[in-house]
């Protein structure tokens, strides 16, 4: 069983079981974007509070970073530098790199992503015991800076029996790949 997570404007998810996408009763199976991960988080596009998508989608990561940076001149300057003055174009990959280079605002944003995405995925692992979690979309372009600590956190949170054979990996597909295609292709790679 493979669980696919796409981090883009929102967060999409999909579950592939025995080579087939599992849709659920009304087609929403695997959609973890609206999973509640905190009781007092930011408001989601759907109107809910504390949903994963409002914290860890690529869009949310960028928005949070730009919002927080307003109060930190050094971070603002760093953002301007790496985006050639177009802060709104900053990517998730650049934010994770800033965090790795020691920017404390970026580190705060990244910590939130690892915390809440890790929580949501750990719950998925406890529920369905997948062999693999594949991250795709623009958010996943942060690569190992996202995936290594995320994998570590999932393993920490899960019962060893549930996560012992779990692998967390970045999708090798482009960010435009539709979810179903991604899940199906990912299975062929195994």
The residues of the shown chain that bind Zn ion, judged by CB under 5 A, are: 34, 44, 46, 48, 51
Instruction: Report the residue number, 43 or 81, with the smaller CB distance to Zn ion.
Output: 43
What is the nearest approach in angstroms of Zn ion to the Cβ of residue 43? 9
Least distance to Zn ion from the beta carbon of 115, Å? 18
Q: Which is nearer to Zn ion, 46 or 127 (CB)?
A: 46
Smallest distance from Zn ion to CB 28, Å: 12
- Sorted by sequence, the CB contacts under 8 Å of residue 134 that are 6+ apart come out as 2, 3, 4, 5, 169, 170, 171, 182, 183, 186
Q: Whose Cβ is closer to Zn ion: residue 44's or residue 105's?
A: 44
Q: How far is the CB of 176 from Zn ion (least distance, A)?
A: 23
Q: What is the DSSP letter of 44?
A: P
Classify residue 185 as left (phi > 0), alpha (psi -120 to 50) or beta: alpha
Residue, CB closest to Zn ion: 44
With contact defined as beta carbons under 8 Å apart, do 150 and 118 qualify?
yes
Is the CB of 1 or the CB of 46 nearer to Zn ion? 46
């Amino acid at each position: 069983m493979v669980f696919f997570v796409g981090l883009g404007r929102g967060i999409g998810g999909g579950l592939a079981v025995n080579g087939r996408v599992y849709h659920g009763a009304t087609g929403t199976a695997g959609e973890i974007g609206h999973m509640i991960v905190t009781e007092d988080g930011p408001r989601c596009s759907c109107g809910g509070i504390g949903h994963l998508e409002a914290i860890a989608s690529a869009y949310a990561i960028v928005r949070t970073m730009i919002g927080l940076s307003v109060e930190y001149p050094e971070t603002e300057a760093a953002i301007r530098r790496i985006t050639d003055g177009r802060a709104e174009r900053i990517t998730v990959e650049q934010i994770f790199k800033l965090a790795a280079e020691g920017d404390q605002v970026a580190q705060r944003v990244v910590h939130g992503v690892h915390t809440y995405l890790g929580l949501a995925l750990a719950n998925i692992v406890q529920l369905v015991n997948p062999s693999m979690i594949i991250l795709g979309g623009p958010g996943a372009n942060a690569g190992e800076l996202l995936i290594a600590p995320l994998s570590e956190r999932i393993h920490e949170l899960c019962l060893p029996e549930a996560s012992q054979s779990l692998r967390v990996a970045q999708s090798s597909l482009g960010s435009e790949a539709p979810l179903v295609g991604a899940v199906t292709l990912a299975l062929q790679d195994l």
